[in-house]
């Protein structure tokens, strides 16, 4: 093998993840809340419906996590400061974050507002030096902290950034993969969510070290060929997935939870009509048309139903999409109380310009 091929086969990936992102931005705007338990979510009123978007590290000590109902968070920590989500502001700060990252490489795969992978294989400087610089620049220019992980692939870089949060910098070398990974819970692996964690637990597998002992065939039989193979490779710290600089969206969607469960069909229609306008704007901005319209309804007992219809031709017309919504609504039981309503447009096609 030539040297060039050998060196291009060994990659250097950085994963960067801002610490308590929304909460850190709010602390910066309100220095009086620094160090206090701070919870960002919904309208910022814990007596109202809504979930925690994020909690400061001081609030996490009380067991408060993203996705938890605000009311539960209030019960756990009534003295916490609750603030509403100011998405516009967080997007602005995120744009600043991306500009800094782009100074290091154009090979960036962003995951949401505060997280990204950078492929720095081609850089002449050492990865750890670059990671350090990146942290310094975020600190100096944004006044915020990030946790950075370095590894030979995305899987290990992401695990590394998570290992020393907040304000961490961690490198996982290929030689120490087994030592570092073995004691960690399987949920630290990319794409291993609650369901897989539970199924693995049923098999007596809790840590990555446990997973390492399971033969490939067993994993394939239990989890299917592709996912079984992935679990087998991931347990060994192996991940060949490239840093993908741009993802075409698969769909556009929006949903909302009503403050009070409702049977008011006019209200449901008004909300859906608002979603149509918003989604059409998103479709047009991206130059897309969609083919499939899906309405989602969650009833007060949390049972969730979807009804979908595909059009013969893709569209970005608000009228056509709203007509589909009106045709789908009678397929639901509209006598029951509704908690949440959502709309999704999928089957996207790029519009010929």
Is residue 115 annotated as part of the catalytic site, yes or no? yes
21 binds ligand TTP (CB under 6 A): yes
Distance between CA atoms of residues 97 and 95, nearest Å? 5
- Of 19, 26, 109, 324, the one binding ligand TTP by CB under 6 A: 19
Write down the least CB distance from residue 229 to Mg ion, Å.
Answer: 29
Which partner from the list ligand TTP, Mg ion, none does 35 bind, CB cut-off 5 to 8 Å by kind?
Answer: none
Can you read off the two tokens belonging to residue 273? 């009509």
Cis peptide before 341 (omega within 30 of 0): no
Cβ–Cβ < 8 Å for 70, 85: no
- Let me know how many helices (H) and strands (E) the chain has, helices first: 14, 13
What does the DSSP 8-state code read for residue 335?
T
Which partner from the list ligand TTP, Mg ion, none does 53 bind, CB cut-off 5 to 8 Å by kind?
Answer: ligand TTP
Write down the least CB distance from residue 34 to ligand TTP, Å.
Answer: 16
177 binds Mg ion (CB under 5 A): no
Distance between CA atoms of residues 102 and 99, nearest Å? 5
316 binds Mg ion (CB under 5 A): no
CA torsion angle 91 97 101 102 (round to 10): 50
211 binds Mg ion (CB under 5 A): no
C-alpha distances in Å from residue 123, one per residue of 14, 73, 159, 245, 343: 12, 44, 22, 17, 44
- Of 26, 109, 115, 316, the one binding ligand TTP by CB under 6 A: 115
C-alpha distances in Å from residue 302, one per residue of 28, 50, 266, 336: 37, 14, 21, 12
Residue span binding Mg ion (CB under 5 A) among the ranges 110-118, 231-239, 285-293, 345-353: 110-118
Number of residues in contact with ligand TTP, rule: CB under 6 A? 15
Write down the least CB distance from residue 338 to Mg ion, Å.
Answer: 33
165 binds ligand TTP (CB under 6 A): yes
The residues in 34-73 that bind ligand TTP, with binding defined as CB under 6 A, are 53-54, 66-67
Catalytic residue among 26, 109, 115, 324: 115
Contacts (Cβ under 8 Å, ≥6 apart) of 44 = 82, 83, 84, 85
Residue span binding Mg ion (CB under 5 A) among the ranges 17-25, 173-181, 247-255, 301-309: 17-25
Residues in contact with Mg ion by CB under 5 A are: 17-18, 21, 114
**Which of the residues are catalytic?**
115
Residues in contact with ligand TTP by CB under 6 A are: 17-22, 53-54, 66-67, 112, 114-115, 165-166
């Amino acid at each position: 093998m030539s040297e060039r091929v050998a060196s291009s086969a060994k990659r250097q990936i950085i994963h960067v993840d801002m610490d308590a992102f929304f909460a850190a931005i709010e602390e910066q705007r309100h220095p009086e809340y620094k160090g206090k338990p701070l919870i960002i979510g919904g309208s910022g009123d814990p007596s109202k419906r809504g979930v925690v978007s994020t909690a400061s590290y001081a609030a996490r000590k009380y067991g408060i996590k993203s996705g938890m109902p605000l009311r539960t968070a209030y019960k756990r920590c009534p003295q916490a400061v609750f603030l509403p989500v100011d998405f516009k502001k967080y997007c602005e700060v995120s744009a600043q974050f991306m500009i800094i990252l782009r100074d290091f490489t154009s090979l960036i795969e962003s995951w949401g507002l505060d997280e990204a992978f950078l492929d720095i294989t081609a850089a002449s400087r050492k990865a750890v030096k670059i990671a350090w610089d990146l942290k310094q620049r975020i600190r100096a220019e944004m006044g915020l902290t990030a946790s950075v992980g370095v590894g030979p692939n995305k899987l290990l870089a992401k695990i590394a950034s998570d290992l020393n949060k907040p304000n961490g910098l961690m490198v996982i070398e290929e030689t120490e993969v087994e030592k570092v990974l073995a004691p960690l819970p399987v949920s630290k692996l990319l794409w291993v969510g609650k369901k897989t964690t539970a199924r693995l637990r049923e098999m007596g597998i809790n840590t990555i070290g446990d997973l390492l002992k399971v033969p490939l065939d067993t994993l394939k039989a239990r989890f299917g060929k592709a996912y079984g193979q992935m679990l087998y490779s991931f347990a060994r710290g192996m991940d060949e997935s490239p840093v993908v600089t741009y993802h075409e969206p698969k769909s556009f969607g929006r949903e909302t939870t009503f403050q009070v469960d409702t049977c008011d069909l006019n209200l449901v229609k008004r909300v859906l009509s608002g979603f149509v306008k918003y989604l059409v704007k998103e479709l047009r901005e991206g130059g897309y048309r969609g083919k499939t319209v899906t309405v989602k309804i969650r009833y007060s007992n949390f049972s969730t139903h979807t009804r979908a219809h595909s059009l013969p031709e893709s569209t970005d017309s608000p009228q056509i999409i709203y007509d589909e919504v009106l045709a789908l609504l009678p397929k639901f039981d509209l006598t029951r109380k509704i908690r949440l309503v959502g709309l999704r447009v999928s089957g996207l096609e790029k519009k010929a310009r």
